[in-house]
Amino acid sequence: MRITFCRKRNEKRIKIEFPYHLGTIQFLKTITGSCWEADGRYWHVPDNSENRALLGLPDDSLPDNTLKALSEFKHWMQSRRYSSNTIIVYLNAVEVFLTFYKDRALAEISNADVIHFNNAYILHKALSSSYQNQVVNGIKLFFKTIQGRALNPELIHRPRGEKTLPNVLSKAEVKAILEAPFNAKHKAMLSLIYACGLRCGELLSLKPEHVDSKRQILIIKQSKGRKDRIVPIGQGIINMLRLYYIAYKPEIYLFEGQLKGTPYDSRSLQMVLKQSLKKAGINKPVTLHWLRHSYATHLLESGTDLRYIQALLGHSSSRTTEIYTHVSTKSIQNIKSPFEDL
């Protein structure tokens, strides 16, 4: 993410540039006055203390000792090798919280203040439950590591988890999407996401040596949770990748952008999917992650054991994988409605 400053209609704005990421876009949309600049392909928001805190920018209104504590918190997370995304999220969350209580000494902040912040700030602004959880996690870690005191998690209000089902496409819809691109690179990228149940970031981080055609496996390095895993890759997708490799000759990454040696841009890949949906005549708001959900569900419906699906997807907990049992139609379709007997 690249953050700079600009002016729009003589108003100071914070300019935000980043590779396509749906969660970041949804977060920016919650900020009052946020705008998408189509020509320059960037977002911009009003330059004020609140937005600076949200984006992890220094705010002169915070006391020096608070800014020092935030800097120590950042360095602590970096030394523990937290991912860059986690560092940004936690740092932003804590800074928003401390800006809300900028007139209070850090030593005076208690569990009751976190509860009040949840109600007066997060709920008042109708921010998401996932953001509320991020704030609570960040605040707890900050006070435990930097302030040397733990807030009681039992007294901090957490939102109930939203029980949403993953979006799944039919095999016919997947086939139509994968056959839509004319470009060999585009076809190979979309096909590999579905064929191996990859996350977008996993696909774009692949290198040619991660494809083991002899053993017919794909090696996914340091994915979510800093874990490696392998997934089976069929002969059909191997043949497709061979043709693609001969045509494009990537140097470092398996799928590279316009500049050799640089990974393909995630926003461009999302546009590839959007164009494929249009050609296939599919009007659903499909994202790249729908292909991963469809891969898991279709495996389950074909009789693959849930434990193997968990390993293939790289889930740490079986509970995460069990969500696909709720969208699989194999067993549901065998149930006869009592309406049919009337």
Q: Which of 69-73, 104-108, 171-175 has the lowest mean pLDDT?
A: 104-108
pLDDT at site 242: 95
pLDDT at site 115: 85
State the span(s) of the chain assigned CATH 1.10.443.10: 171-328
Q: Which of 55-64, 82-91, 155-164, 319-328 has the lowest mean pLDDT?
A: 155-164
pLDDT at site 225: 67
pLDDT at site 41: 80
Separation in Å, CA 299 to CA 261, 311, 331: 34, 12, 14
Separation in Å, CA 97 to CA 30, 34, 62, 122, 134: 17, 20, 11, 10, 11
Q: Is 210 a catalytic residue?
A: no
Catalytic residue among 292, 293, 295, 298: 292
pLDDT band at residue 59 under the 50/70/90 scheme:
low
Q: What architecture is the 171-328 domain classified under in CATH?
A: Orthogonal Bundle (1.10)
* Mean pLDDT on 24-34: 85
For all residues of the chain together, what is the average pLDDT? Answer: 84
pLDDT digits (tens, 9 = 90+) for 124-173: 877 777 778 888 888 888 988 887 766 665 555 555 555 667 888 999 99
Q: Is 52 a catalytic residue?
A: no
pLDDT at site 180: 94
Catalytic residue among 21, 74, 210, 289: 289
Contacts of 277 (CB under 8 A, 6+ apart): 177, 180, 283, 284, 286
> If you average pLDDT over each of 92-96, 121-125, 262-266, which comes out highest?
262-266
pLDDT at site 48: 81
Token digits of residue 197: 């149940």
Q: Is 324 a catalytic residue?
A: yes
pLDDT at 236 over 70: yes
The residue assigned the tokens 């020509």 is 39
pLDDT digits (tens, 9 = 90+) for 135-144: 888 888 898 8
pLDDT at site 178: 95
Catalytic residue among 194, 253, 295, 324: 324
98 in Cβ contact with 66 (< 8 Å):
yes
Q: Is 289 a catalytic residue?
A: yes
Q: Is 292 a catalytic residue?
A: yes
pLDDT at 286 over 70: yes
Catalytic residue among 199, 207, 210, 229: 199
Catalytic residue among 224, 229, 245, 248: 224
pLDDT at site 341: 65
* Mean pLDDT on 227-237: 91
pLDDT at site 320: 79
Which CATH fold would you assign to the domain 50-162?
Answer: DNA polymerase; domain 1 (1.10.150)
Catalytic residue among 21, 74, 207, 315: 315
The residue assigned the tokens 């220094």 is 58
Contacts of 77 (CB under 8 A, 6+ apart): 86, 87, 90, 91
State the span(s) of the chain assigned CATH 1.10.150.130: 50-162
Q: Is 279 a catalytic residue?
A: no
